[in-house]
Amino acid sequence: MKELELKYGCNPNQKPARVFMKEGELPFTVLNGKPGYINLLDAMNSWQLVQELKEATGLPAAASFKHVSPAGAAVAAPLSDLLQKVYFVEGVELSPIATAYIRARGADRMSSYGDFVALSDECDAQTASFLAREVSDGIIAPSYSPEALEILKGKRKGTYLVLQMDKAYEPAELEQKEVFGITFEQKRNTVKLDEECLKDIPTQNKVIDEAAKRDLLISLITLKYTQSNSVCYAKDGQAIGIGAGQQSRVHCTRLAGNKADVWHLRQHPKVLALPFKAEVRRPDRDNAIDVYISEEWEDLLETDDWKRVFTEKPEPLTREEKKEYLKGITGVSLGSDAFFPFGDNVERAHKSGVSYIAQSGGSIRDDNVIETADKYNIAMAFTHIRLFHH
C-alpha cells in the first residue's frame, strides 16, 4: 500500500488528511483498527526509539507514547518484588517483552493513560493480556503471535489499532516536512548513542558502573525522540521521569525530577498499604495515588471524596515523610538533550537522587556545572552530542 487516507489530521477541522510514500510502499501494515494522524506520528517515533534501545542494550525494549513524546521507555530488566507490587503484576511470570512494556507503562502511569505502545520484539499473548486491562489507543510491533493478535483485536470493542512494522525498512537519508507552505529538509538524525559517548568525564568522580551506563543510554535515546527542550531521569533499566517541551532547561529538570520523585514515592510503604476498595479500577487507583502523594491530599480530606476509592481514611503521607524518604534515593541517572547552562540543573537533579549525568557540554559555564557536580560527587559525562527533536 502506497497511501492511506485518514479521518482527519491533528484536529477534526484539518481535512483532508493522509499518509503516503513518494517512492515504494508504506512500511507498516494495519492489522486492526483505523489509524489517526497522531497515532502514526507516535508510531513512527516510538518505533525508532525501541529499535535503538534494543541495539544499544541488547535487551527487548518498549515505549509508551503520548502526543509525540514518550511517557515512558524501558528495557527488559527483571522486576523486583517491590516493583511487581507497584506495577500490579505480583506473582505473575513475565516474558522479557512484557516486562519491558510494564516498566515503560509504569514510569508515569498518569501520562500513559490512552498511550500508543511500541515493542522492539514480537508481541506475545502475555503482553497483549496486560494491555487488554489498560487504557491504550494502539500498538506497533514487528510481529504478533496468533494469540496476542486475537486478544488485541478484541480490545476497545474491536477498534484497537494494531500496526505491524517492516523491520527491514530503511528511510531515506534526507527527511522533509512542510510548515506554513514552506518545505524544510535536513539529514535524518542517525547519530548512534553507545558507551563511546560516555567516555569524556570531566568531574572528579569518573566511575560510571555498567548499570548506570545502561540507564544513561536509555535516558539519551529516550530524549532523541522527545520534544525539546527535554531531560530524562532513568533507573533500573527504565525512564522514571521525562520533562518534555519546556523553554527553560531547569524547568525540564524540575518537571522530570518531580515525576521521578513520584515514581519513587509510589514505592513508599504508606502508598503500598493504601486501603483501596476491591472494585476500584487501575486508572482510578493511579489518580488516587497521584493525589495522595501530592499537596492536594489535604484538600481532599476536607471532603468525602476519598470514600469513593478507599475503605477507610488513609493516614496522610506528610511533607516531612516524603522529604525524608527521598533523601535516601541514590543511583539515579540523568540525561539532557543539550548542555546545562547553569549549575542549578545539577542542584535540582541532586534532590532526586541523581548520581550520574550525561549532557552534551559546551556551555560557557561548564566550569560551574562541573564544580556543582563535584560538590555532590556526581559522575558527569560530556557526550558532545545534541539531541534536539522537533
Residues recognised as catalytic: 66-67, 229, 390
| Cell numbers found for residue 332 | 539515579
Are 64 and 104 contacting, i.e. CB atoms less than 8 angstroms apart? yes
73 burial class (0-12, 13-18, 19+ CB within 10 angstroms)? buried
- Which residues does 133 contact at the CB level (< 8 Å), separation at least 6? 282
Half-sphere exposure of 285 (CA within 13 A, CB side): 19
b/e 333-367 (16+ beta carbons within 10 angstroms → b): bbbbbbbbbebbbbebbbbbbbbbbbbbbebeebe
Q: How far is CA 252 from the centre of its chain?
A: 14
Of 105, 91, 134, nearest to 263 by C-alpha is: 105
Give the C-alpha separation, 193 to 385, whole Å.
9
Give the C-alpha separation, 90 to 22, whole Å.
48
Of 205, 236, 168, 216, nearest to 387 by C-alpha is: 216
Give the C-alpha separation, 291 to 301, whole Å.
11
Q: Is 159 helix (H, G, I), strand (E, B) or coil?
A: coil
Of 318, 326, 364, 317, nearest to 348 by C-alpha is: 326
Give the C-alpha separation, 76 to 239, whole Å.
12
Q: What is the DSSP secondary structure assignment for residue 14, as one 8-state letter? A: S
88 burial class (0-12, 13-18, 19+ CB within 10 angstroms)? middle
Whether residue 16 is preceded by a cis peptide bond, meaning omega within 30 degrees of 0, is yes
Rounded alpha-carbon distances, angstroms, from residue 122 to 164, 238, 273: 10, 20, 36
